[in-house]
Amino acid sequence: MIAQKAKEITPFIVMEVLEKAAEMEQQGINVIHLEVGEPDFNVPKCVSVAEQKAFDEGRTHYTHSLGDPELRKQIAEKYKEEYNVSVSPGQIIVTSGSSPAILLTLGVLCDAGDEVIISDPGYACYENFIRFIGAKAIKVPVYEEDGFQYRYEEIKSALPTEHAQ
């Protein structure tokens, strides 16, 4: 039996488009991919060399539940160097991508019935993530002429009256 909240997840049309594009490519049709936001280039050489080194060293097993401690330490150092911000490695979680990170964050910050403001247009999965955790997505329009940044008045009008002060 599948949980009702799982049944309410709407299809992510981007993946359907990606699958159709793959079929077209197999037929020899040249396709320009704009659907998933994936770069059209391979990882940098230094990354593939590091991956191969880790593989050769047998570093292919589970890491710490928050992510590899050395990686988290290096991320903290990068934030200090680049942004002069002190972040403890204990405050960093490494996930397998932005979608799991967003889902985890929403799960930590939101209770059932909470409302979450999201941009419209925005990432198609946000609404499903919010619905899955039992919260409600409130879409607020954003506009190209503003660089797709929120307008104060649009957010204010989306808030319940008692919070719109």
**Mean pLDDT computed over every residue of the chain:** 90
Which pLDDT tens digit goes with each residue over 107-158?
A: 999 999 999 999 999 887 899 899 999 999 999 999 999 999 999 999 999 9
Which pLDDT tens digit goes with each residue over 33-53?
A: 877 777 778 899 999 999 999
Per-residue pLDDT, 29: 95
Query: Closest Cα partner for 132 from 94, 159, 105?
Result: 105
Domain boundaries, the chain: 1-41, 110-165
CA distances from 77 to 54, 85, 90, 94, 122 (A): 21, 9, 13, 15, 31
Per-residue pLDDT, 164: 55
pTM of the model: 0.69
Per-residue pLDDT, 161: 67
Cβ–Cβ under 8 Å, residues 162 and 156? no
Per-residue pLDDT, 6: 78
Which pLDDT tens digit goes with each residue over 74-114?
A: 999 999 999 999 999 999 999 988 889 999 999 999 999 99
